Homo-oligomer: A and B are copies of this chain.
Amino acid sequence: MSDAPQAFHVSRYELERFMLAVLARAGADASSAEALTRALVTASRMGTDSHGLRLLPHYIRALQGGRIAGAPAMHFERRLPATGYLDAGDGFGHLAGYTAMEHAADMADEVGMGAVAVGRSSHFGAAGCYALAAAERGLIGLAVCNSDPFVLLHQGSRPFHGTNPIAFAAPVEGENPFLLDMATSSIPWNRVQQYGAIGRELPDQVAADSTGEVTRIPKEVAALLPLGGSDFGFKGAGLGSMVEVLSSTLSGMLNGFRLLPMGGPDMKTPRGASHFCLALRPDAFAPGDPFPECMRRYLEDLRAQPGRDGAQVMAPGDREWDCRARRDAEGIPLDSANQRAYAELAETLNVPALQPLA
């Protein structure tokens, strides 16, 4: 999330150019490369760095290893007027996510609401991308997905759920959408690694050692706590569980506890991740379509609230849209690790190197 001074910033267009070229060279078809690029660049522009450009080298490894099919045979079946199933053919989760939300949105346009369960998929990056895709069509969108185990159950001592995110977006007339995109743990796993690298203590109540006891020392961490910590983690774990029911259970896939680890070492076997995308038409409920005006008044009330110690309160998404505006103007930063990884991709895949902004 840090925008600390960096020597290396790229424009979103240059980043897109590079990603599309690299993905094509590594064997992704055009729609896969476009979906992955759209999702990663969206996340990087908004400051969701954990799910942005830093993941490209990982996805290339998964593609080259055979875990992910670069030209997947995805198959959508509409089961009832408001529901469907997408078999993602072990392709990129990003293509699966956008495709599923598009079908959900098509059904919503027709019958007011639509939802698609997605099976045989893979990591889809930031869940917010797909909720946002619905909001960009004027619909309310919800997207969730399971992942491999990093998070304890409440009072558990072994990782069980993934960080199982919930993303929810809604259109706002004349503004960027309302956008909530949250893991059901307090912090993402890579925060532990970042804090460890700089010798910093973690916040309290976010992580635990191998016996399930809370620790703030990164090198002792064996698992994340669910949102709510030791006292109220039954809420975060319950939300993670809801995500699991909507994703793996509805789609008939393995639950997160049984998924192969995202990080490998096996980069050959498809992981069978699952997602769930729902879209609804805001004008299909109360007569007279009060939604746009109510949304405007609600956000006006929210943003007018006084902050603690001079802080500014924000609506979900405000921080991300601010970051996007800043990064669209100043470029997207790459830290030294990402610069090295991108230089290596350019070299091994014989693609012109990523050019920094002047």
Residues of A with Cβ closer than 8 Å to B?
Answer: 77, 79-85, 111-117, 119, 140, 152-158, 160, 166, 168, 170, 178, 180, 182, 186-187, 203, 205-206, 208, 211-213, 227-229, 231-232, 234-236, 238-239, 241-242, 244-246, 248-253, 255, 257-258, 280-282, 284-288, 290-291, 294-295, 297-298, 301-302, 305-309, 311-316
Across the interface, which residues of B come within 8 angstroms of A298, CB to CB? Answer: 244-245, 248-249, 255
Sample of 13 further A-B pairs with CB below 8 A, known A85-B286, A113-B114, A234-B314: A77-B287, A80-B113, A82-B82, A82-B112, A155-B313, A182-B238, A182-B239, A205-B229, A212-B309, A241-B316, A252-B291, A255-B297, A257-B301
Across the interface, which residues of B come within 8 angstroms of A119, CB to CB? Answer: 286
Give, as a whole number of angstroms, the nearest-CB distance from A83 to chain B. 3
Across the interface, which residues of B come within 8 angstroms of A157, CB to CB? Answer: 305-308
Given contacts A228-B228, A231-B186, whether A252 and B80 have CB atoms under 8 Å apart is no
The CA-CA distance from A79 to B294 in the complex, in Å, is 19
Across the interface, which residues of B come within 8 angstroms of A234, CB to CB? Answer: 182, 314, 316
Across the interface, which residues of B come within 8 angstroms of A160, CB to CB? Answer: 301-302, 305, 313
Interface centre among A80, A170, A178, A295, by most chain B C-beta atoms within 10 angstroms, is A80
In the complex the two chains form, is B251's CB within 8 Å of A285's CB?
yes
Across the interface, which residues of B come within 8 angstroms of A113, CB to CB? Answer: 80, 82-83, 113-115
Give, as a whole number of angstroms, the nearest-CB distance from A238 to chain B. 4
Considering the complex, give the chain B residue whose CB is closest to the CB of A282. B250
Cβ contacts A to B, 20 pairs, < 8 Å = A81-B112, A117-B285, A140-B245, A140-B246, A153-B313, A154-B314, A156-B307, A166-B239, A180-B239, A182-B234, A182-B238, A186-B228, A186-B235, A227-B228, A227-B236, A248-B294, A248-B298, A249-B298, A252-B288, A252-B291
Give, as a whole number of angstroms, the nearest-CB distance from A240 to chain B. 10
In the complex the two chains form, is B77's CB within 8 Å of A306's CB?
no
Give, as a whole number of angstroms, the nearest-CB distance from A118 to chain B. 9
Choose one: B112, B186, B313, B315; the contact of A80 (CB below 8 Å).
B112
Interface centre among A85, A153, A211, A286, by most chain B C-beta atoms within 10 angstroms, is A286
Across the interface, which residues of B come within 8 angstroms of A307, CB to CB? Answer: 155-157, 212
Across the interface, which residues of B come within 8 angstroms of A246, CB to CB? Answer: 140
Given contacts A153-B305, A203-B231, A297-B255, whether A79 and B285 have CB atoms under 8 Å apart is yes
Across the interface, which residues of B come within 8 angstroms of A116, CB to CB? Answer: 285
Across the interface, which residues of B come within 8 angstroms of A112, CB to CB? Answer: 79-83, 115
The CA-CA distance from A282 to B297 in the complex, in Å, is 36
Give, as a whole number of angstroms, the nearest-CB distance from A207 to chain B. 12
The CA-CA distance from A311 to B237 in the complex, in Å, is 15
Across the interface, which residues of B come within 8 angstroms of A252, CB to CB? Answer: 286, 288, 290-291, 294
Considering the complex, give the chain B residue whose CB is closest to the CB of A280. B115
Cβ-closest 9 pairs across A and B:
A252-B290, A80-B112, A83-B112, A212-B308, A117-B285, A252-B286, A155-B311, A83-B284, A180-B238
The CA-CA distance from A168 to B249 in the complex, in Å, is 14
Choose one: B80, B153, B308; the contact of A281 (CB below 8 Å).
B80
Give, as a whole number of angstroms, the nearest-CB distance from A318 to chain B. 10
Give, as a whole number of angstroms, the nearest-CB distance from A121 to chain B. 12
Considering the complex, give the chain B residue whose CB is closest to the CB of A231. B203
The CA-CA distance from A284 to B111 in the complex, in Å, is 15
